[in-house]
Structure formats: structure tokens, C-alpha cells
Structure 1
């Protein structure tokens, strides 16, 4: 009883297995970066990252922790469907593990008060994901389970037709989110009730009833109103006027009170369409408002043609709805399952800064190509016309650096030969928690963690005399971490800490691992093999038969490989 867990949580096989991620550095590919200035408001420091998204998120964590306003992700749905660009058939435990690892870093990246997370998901994993998000973000951070009507025609192939998906919404600070979230603009269906029969110079308007329930009314809300025709009006029983008499008289002078066509109807307040800020978002998102799957496919076909097109993009109007609610111009948006680049394209058109991560080759064949068209202003589809996009801005294309360490021919870990001195210094800064900011005039200053704490990285073997010289230059009021190939003598200088590389970092990370995506050919975890062996032994001892289908109350209808999940992550593509 003493080992019983003390909190409610979702559990799965391998939940305690956690990757020891290497915080890689990012290398810009300037040939794929792109920019074009159209106006002074153009945004250029957007990032498109090609690489494993778990490693990419870890690479972003140091610089962007607490800085992302809105994160939207569209992860693999674990439906068993086969996609060319990524594997989507993940067992529940594997899927939960890969999502947990990513969600924890995403949570760290969100702004501590204003940040919100939006996740597209279908019925197959929605219930599991909801509980997992409750665990990672806290149940109190849940905002809504928005229902997107993805189809406009009936689905007749299933027992009950599948016509919707969910967009789960969580906020770091739900109360703050309620205060700062934006309203959604009115739809054409909502604006058609605004008319202008009298050619009012203020534009279309509609009459709004003046009465309200009298529960908390004041005496100033009970008075007689005489219409232009002489008719006298009082609030009906149980109701009051929604305006004080002083406010009513002010609006009447301004021509904002409407007594009907003949001037003898109960008074209404005139509300102009131009005054409508928008409507409080609700959880029903019909296809007329935010698009559907056919619309999104047409958008992709218009960009890239129908051959080898991305199978499951999201419509730009859906992403537009999310960013409208959650962000304002200049805010930073992240999508770590970028797919065909929809989130980045819409964010760019809406004047938001963005970071997109994609593993597949379509990071440059689809995403970069699409975003160049957006920057050029030559992509007329999606929300381009609705937001008045004309082009401009740019993005920087990055790839993940190789692992810092590699094995030599004798099996020893050494610094990778692909690393030059600058890359090594930046990588060690990130590993040790320093900001890489080399000083051209001070050779030993490669970065800092505070105003008085610095780092110096070199592959040289340092002598005691060299250490003494550096110590004197650093001075008594500052400290320096030295990461070097080796050093001679004792390092007993009070302002210096000396570490050997790679020895000092060997146990910190899983070096040399470039892929945390699903690999179905991976070896079954040891726990799975041992459990299978134990069950087989128990079966032989108790029943004398290896063909028994049920052991210890658990059904054994498939092999260990089929029944028990693997524990690598998966990010090979997304749904956009």
C-alpha cells in the first residue's frame, strides 16, 4: 500500500521510459532561406527547421522557453492509415509516449501567462490525449474541445459517418486567456441582418431590443418613453429598460433610438455593423466558417498539383480561426508537425512570427516552396484575399546539427569531425546552459550565463601556466567555465572551473541518435521480452501447454511484437 500512486493519472507500458535528449544546435542553410521586402512591417526572423521534431524542440528550448504565444500541432492520429510521408500506425502506448515527450517541451516553450496550445485530433485518440494533456498541463488549464466539421457531405462507409475532428485547447493561465483572447469576426450569415433602409451615413445597422430582466435593475431603469407618434411605452412586467433614462435620452438625441417604420413601435437601440467587435468563440466550427477537407486539398493541388500531393492538409481558414482567437500581429506561433506548411503560411499572411518544424523531405519540397510563394505574394489561395496579403517578409531555413559526439574506429566517443570550433563552442554553451555570444576581442569569452559567469571552449591541452594567465584576465569578480581537450596540473584557481571534453558530457545525453521517430523494426523493449518469457514459463508450468490463449486473466491473441508497443517517438510528418 505504501507504493500506491497518490494522484489520478493515465498510465501505459513504458511510461517511465524517457529519452535523454541532446540539445542540438541549429545550422542555417542560407541557400534555402528566403526574404523579400515589401513594406516596413515585414517580418523576416521566421524559422523553418528540417529535422526530427523532438530534437528540434529540445534545440529551441533554451532560446524560446516562455516566449511562444500560440502552439498549434496536428500530430499523427494513430489511425493505422498508411501515409507516404510518415508512419501513422502507432500503438496506444507508443503514441502516448511520443506525445508526452513532446508536450512537456511544448509546455515549457509557451508564454507563462499568455500561452495557449491547440491540438487537432480525431475520435480514435481524443480521449487518451485529453487525459494526457490534463496530466501535462493540469486539468484546470483545459479551455475547450472545439468540434470542426471537416466534411460537408455524408460519410456512408462507416456504421456512423465520421464528419468531424476536434481541436483541443489548453491555456497556461485560463483566466488570463479569457481576458486576452480575441473574438471571432461575424460571418456573412450573421451580418446579413444588418441593413440600411434609410441610407444612414454610418452604414448598415440593426435594431436591438431595449428591455432586460429586472433582477438587478436600479430605479433609473424604470421610466416612461413617448414615441414620435405619441405612443407611451413602459417596460413589460418582470423586465426593465436596459438603459438608464440619461443614457436613453443621449442616444435619442444622437439618432440611435428606433421606433419602427411608422414611429409607433417599442423603442430599440440602433447598433451599427461597424461597431461589432466580433463574437465570443464557441466550440462548434462549421465548414462554412473554417473550411473542410475538400477545400484544403484544392489549396494543396493549386500549389503543387495532384501528383504526390500531401494527403491530409488542413484548410487555411481553420488555422486562421485559431490564430485569430489566440494571437495578435507580431506574436510568435509554433507548429512542430508542420506537414505541408499551412500553419506557417497562414501565420505569415496574418503578420505573426512563426517557427515550423518538419522531418520529411517536404520540409524543402513543400514547406519552403510554399512559403517562398507566400513571401513573393504569388500564392492567391487560402486566406490571402481575406487578410489582404500582398507578400513580403522572409524566413530562415535551418537543419539540425549532427550529434556532437561520435565513436572512433575503436569505439571511443570523440567530438564529431563535422564540428568546427565555432560549432563546438555553440554546442557546449547550449549543453552547459550558457548563451552563445562570442567576444571577438576576448578570446576566452564564448558566451555567458549571467553578467559575471562566462564560458570558454577549446580542444587544446592547457598547461598550468595558460590557466594561470586566463585566471588573471578573468579577474576576481568573474567566473569562467573552461571546456578543453585536457589540462595539465591542478585546476585550483578560485575563478576557474575546468572540464574535459568529451569526458565531462558523456553521460548526459543519448549521443549519436538522430531519429526519435517511429521505427517499427526496432527491437522490442527488454520489459516486453521478459514479460513474454515469464508468461510462457508460467503457462508451461501450470498448464503444460504452450497453446493456452489466456494467462493470468490477460488475453494472448497476438505475438509480443503485435501486442506490446515500442517506445521510440514519431514525428514523421503531420496532417497539414
Structure 2
């Protein structure tokens, strides 16, 4: 597979590992229209801070748990005025820090800077994405090719779903050689085999379309180079639309009948050999093997087969919900219209994404209560879309949005508040969210633990590094240093902020959890190696042996 190389790639390919882990500090909450200082614990989050650090801060709780990601990163048009400001300790990268990315002719490294900015963020987004998850990335012609290459590298080319094109409705009457009125939305899965057929129909499909029918009939007779002619034996009992009758032996119409077919009470009374090219031969053969019971097609739809009144073989597909998603998106709003709608809330923001567009993309993902993440939140369209969809279909999706700019309070959060409470003549959706700031780093210089983050944050971090699962606060009968049990290993963090802790027989006597193995953190250890080996005890020294990720 081709790979893309650029200035600085070797310095950022693992940069996400060097990004300092910082804790998230709760600032305030908003609970169904009421501000609160307490955490609502509703699951909806707005985070203020650099999205690279914020994404890393989410890992202990959310790695592998995000089912839908939508991001709208800088398009690198040369007009945005964004800066590459990641702390990469290398001369080639340092010379870029703090420099505004300029236009093509003025800044020959603008594409390198953009790729250096995007690569580590995509690596962290990949970690956060669940096995069945989907990521949507908005982009235009400036970086589309580069983005496709690095997404192929990070997500795997085999997990590319499609490249949506969005016709950006708006004012295009100004003169140009060729007026660009589209953008792209790259779509990748974590595992394409787990991506379910969407239970949604393109909104541009007319109401009377057969796509909305719960039962679809189509002939499986299909002749062509990809469908070579072959014979199928239809056994006694094969169903038919004909109540009583005979289909004569024939070669003038497809399928050919090698012998006469006698039908009584809607069932074939004798074996018949039919010959044709087939569009669903394998499924038809499965139907026959099943004794004419419904079988699943590639979309999971129940499928049966009948002999039609014309003698054709037709499949009948039954489906509970329609599915029709196409890669060309249109009639889904515009940035101009979205800007006008925001002004009605008293929110002034340039180039917001269309709410209709984001709602449609999220609706492609099946599920009742999954999490939607947006790490380039802007005005908060993704949060708005989640709240709207929940109001429409009664589901319980959650949003996590991240914005680094200071307008996050007066624009992003304010917009979400208006959506929840209602504005003008628009009814509120209801709902809640918590607002967080990026806080203290977990480790100080020289690798020391930063005790200012608090013991509970340290415990959560340590448990995650050991198990790659979040620490769930639960009541237990073990001592206060017990973290949890995972894969029959019990984990203890024997830590006191103002004293030296020791793993000895006295501490072992306080442990109550039975397990096959034990991992115990402490400042010192007085147990012998032979004793620890015999009892499957692993000692880890604080802070030396705490994993950095």
C-alpha cells in the first residue's frame, strides 16, 4: 500500500505517546436549563483545551467506547490563520511553532504542518473508536488526497467505507471559471466487517418509493458475463404464486425449464431443472437446503423465493426498517443558513457546519445510546445534532465535544444551552451537559507524580494503564487501596500522599480479594522474590513503574 511521507512525519508518528497526560477538571454543569456547580454525570461533555491533550485525557474512560466520531478540521486553505503549536521537541518542528500557516506561495511547508497536526490526533481518535465505530471527516480539495493517505495508514485501507460528497447549498451566483460547490466527508470504520447496514433512507427519496416497503420482490434471473448460465434443481414443495397450473418445458424465455412444472396449492409437485444466469444463486440454494424457510441475505434481511406467474424465479425480501444511503449528499443545508439560524440564538459564528448534514451522518449509525465525539467542535453543531436526534427518535445518544478556542464559553456552550432551553419559537430539546477544562499533568518533570491532581485521578490512571478499562467506583469489602479485579488479577495501589508505603506481610493481611495473580503498587517492598513468585505477586514501585502512555 502506498504511504505518504512529509517533513516531520518521523517526529510525529508516535507523538501521541509523548503528549503529557492531563486530567479533566469539572468547571460547571447545566442541568435541563439550570446552571449548577455539581457534576450532572449525564454523559454529555464540553471540554475546553487543546484537542490533542483532551483526546489523551479521555482515554482512561473512553478508549474503544466511541461509536461515532465527526470532525471538521482546518481545511488549510491559507485563509484560516491557524498555527501548528504541538510541543514536538525537534529543530525541524520547533521552527514552525507559533508561525501562522500561510498561503501556498508564501508557506512551502503548509501541507507538512497540516499533516503533522492531524496525524497524532487521528491516532488518538483511532484508539477511542469502538470496534463497530465510524469516523466522518469533513475536508475539501486542499488536503483531501493527503488526508486519504494518512487515514488509509491509520485506519486501514480495508476499513474505508466511502467518500461522501456534500453539495454545499448556498449563494454560488458570483462569477468564477469553475465554481466549487462541494466538500468531501471521508468515512472510515474501525472494522468494516462490523459496520451495520444503516436503518435510514436518503431524505431525497420520494415517499412513494419501493424503498419504504417492508417487502421487496425482484427477479433473480440475471444473464451476463458475471452471471454465467447454470442449472438449479427446484425440488418438490418449492413455493409458487400460482395456485394450480402447469409451466411447460421452454427455452424461449428465462429461466429455461428443462421439463414440465406441475403446481398444486401454490407448491411444486415434481422436481424441475431450471437454467439461467442468477443474481442470488447462493442464497437461492441456501433457501432450498433450509426446506424453504427464510434465509438471510447480505444485509441481514429475511429472504424467500417463489416461482412467479410468468415462470420467473423471484426473491422476496422482508425488512423491518428501510436502508438506502448514497454517497452524494444534497439538500442538506448550508453554512449560510446555519449562520442565520445561530444569529436567532444571539450566536455569531462564521462557517458553521449544517445541522441537517450532521444529523443525517449521525443517523447512519445504528444504536440507542452510543457516544458521538467531535474534537473540532467550533460552534457546537455536533452537540446540537445529538440533542435534536434524541428528541426526534427518543434515543439516548451522548455527545463529547472539544474546542480549544476561548469562544467555547460564549459561543459553543451558549449555543448548547439555547438548544436545551429553547429559543425564540423553537422548543427546547431538554438535556444536560458538564463543562470541563484541561487540568494538571499527571507527571511532573523527572517523572514525579503530581499529587495536586488528587488520589482518585491517580488511581483511575493506574488502573487504566494496567487493564485498558475504566476504573468504576464501587463499594467493596477490600482495603482502601484496592483498585479492582480484571481477568482474575487483583490490582492494589498502596499510596499515601504524605508517607512512604511498604508492601509487606502486614499489608497482605489487609487484602481480601481472591485472585490468581496480584499487582501491587507501593513505595517499597519487603517481600522476598521466592514468596512473590509462589503467590503470583508482582510488585511495582511508585512512581517508577507507573506506565506513561
TM-score category (smaller protein): 0.5 to 0.7
8 Å CA contact retained: 2:481, 2:494: yes
Q: 2: distance between equivalents of 1:183 and 1:427?
A: 38
Cα distance change on mapping 1:54 and 1:155 into 2, 3 Å: farther
| 1:364 aligned partner | 409
8 Å CA contact retained: 2:505, 2:527: no
Cα distance change on mapping 1:137 and 1:193 into 2, 3 Å: closer
1:34 deviation in Å? 2.9
| 1:373 aligned partner | 418
Cα distance change on mapping 1:337 and 1:452 into 2, 3 Å: same
Q: 2: distance between equivalents of 1:432 and 1:214?
A: 56
| 1:323 aligned partner | 362
Counterpart check, 1:190 vs 2:206: yes
- Structure 1, residues 512-562: CA drift from partner, whole Å, max 9, x if none? xxxxxxxxxxxxxxxxxxxxxxxxxxxxxxxxxxxxxxxxxxxxxxxxxxx
Match of 1:60 among 37, 58, 61: 58
Cα distance change on mapping 1:496 and 1:126 into 2, 3 Å: closer
Q: 2: distance between equivalents of 1:357 and 1:36?
A: 21
TM-score (norm 1): 0.63
Cα distance change on mapping 1:508 and 1:155 into 2, 3 Å: farther
| 1:448 aligned partner | 484
Cα distance change on mapping 1:223 and 1:75 into 2, 3 Å: closer
1:153 deviation in Å? 3.6
Cα distance change on mapping 1:149 and 1:210 into 2, 3 Å: closer
Q: 2: distance between equivalents of 1:353 and 1:48?
A: 11
What do you get for the CA RMSD once the two structures are aligned? 4.5
8 Å CA contact retained: 1:405, 1:415: yes
| 1:457 aligned partner | 495
For 1:261-300, what aligned pairs fall within 5 Å after superposition? Answer: 277-278=321-322, 280-286=324-330, 288=331, 290-300=332-342
Q: 1: distance between equivalents of 2:545 and 2:411?
A: 41
Q: 1: distance between equivalents of 2:357 and 2:241?
A: 48
| 2:429 aligned partner | 391
Counterpart check, 1:473 vs 2:494: no
Q: 2: distance between equivalents of 1:400 and 1:437?
A: 21
Q: 1: distance between equivalents of 2:501 and 2:219?
A: 87
Q: Secondary structure at the match of 1:99?
A: helix
Where does the alignment leave 5 or more consecutive residues of structure 1 unmatched?
1-6, 195-203, 226-236, 250-265, 267-274, 382-388, 510-576
For 1:223-372, what aligned pairs fall within 5 Å after superposition? Answer: 277-278=321-322, 280-286=324-330, 288=331, 290-305=332-347, 309-351=348-390, 352-372=397-417
Counterpart check, 1:34 vs 2:38: no
| 2:314 aligned partner | none
Match of 2:42 among 41, 44, 58: 44
> How many residues end up aligned between the 2 structures?
432
Mean CA deviation greater in 151-160 or 124-133: 151-160
Counterpart check, 1:419 vs 2:453: yes
Q: 2: distance between equivalents of 1:473 and 1:299?
A: 61
- Structure 1, residues 66-112: CA drift from partner, whole Å, max 9, x if none? 21111111111111113599976582122112211111121122221
Counterpart check, 1:499 vs 2:541: yes
1:120 deviation in Å? 0.3
Cα distance change on mapping 1:176 and 1:496 into 2, 3 Å: closer
Cα distance change on mapping 1:165 and 1:88 into 2, 3 Å: farther
- Structure 1, residues 342-397: CA drift from partner, whole Å, max 9, x if none? 0111112212212111111222222221222222244766xxxxxxx752221122
8 Å CA contact retained: 1:69, 1:327: no
1:209 deviation in Å? 10
8 Å CA contact retained: 1:142, 1:174: yes
Q: 1: distance between equivalents of 2:407 and 2:378?
A: 8
1:135 deviation in Å? 0.7
8 Å CA contact retained: 1:73, 1:118: yes
Counterpart check, 1:91 vs 2:144: no
Match of 1:109 among 119, 123, 128: 128
Match of 2:23 among 22, 25, 31: 25
8 Å CA contact retained: 1:61, 1:109: yes
| 2:439 aligned partner | 401
8 Å CA contact retained: 2:201, 2:325: no
Q: 2: distance between equivalents of 1:189 and 1:320?
A: 17
| 1:10 aligned partner | 4
1:144 deviation in Å? 0.9
Q: 1: distance between equivalents of 2:434 and 2:241?
A: 65
Q: Secondary structure at the match of 2:494?
A: strand
Where does the alignment leave 5 or more consecutive residues of structure 2 unmatched?
35-39, 85-99, 103-108, 224-228, 244-251, 256-260, 267-309, 311-318, 391-396
8 Å CA contact retained: 1:110, 1:172: yes
1:481 deviation in Å? 2.7
1:313 deviation in Å? 0.7
8 Å CA contact retained: 1:491, 1:497: no
Q: Secondary structure at the match of 1:26?
A: strand
Q: Secondary structure at the match of 1:25?
A: strand
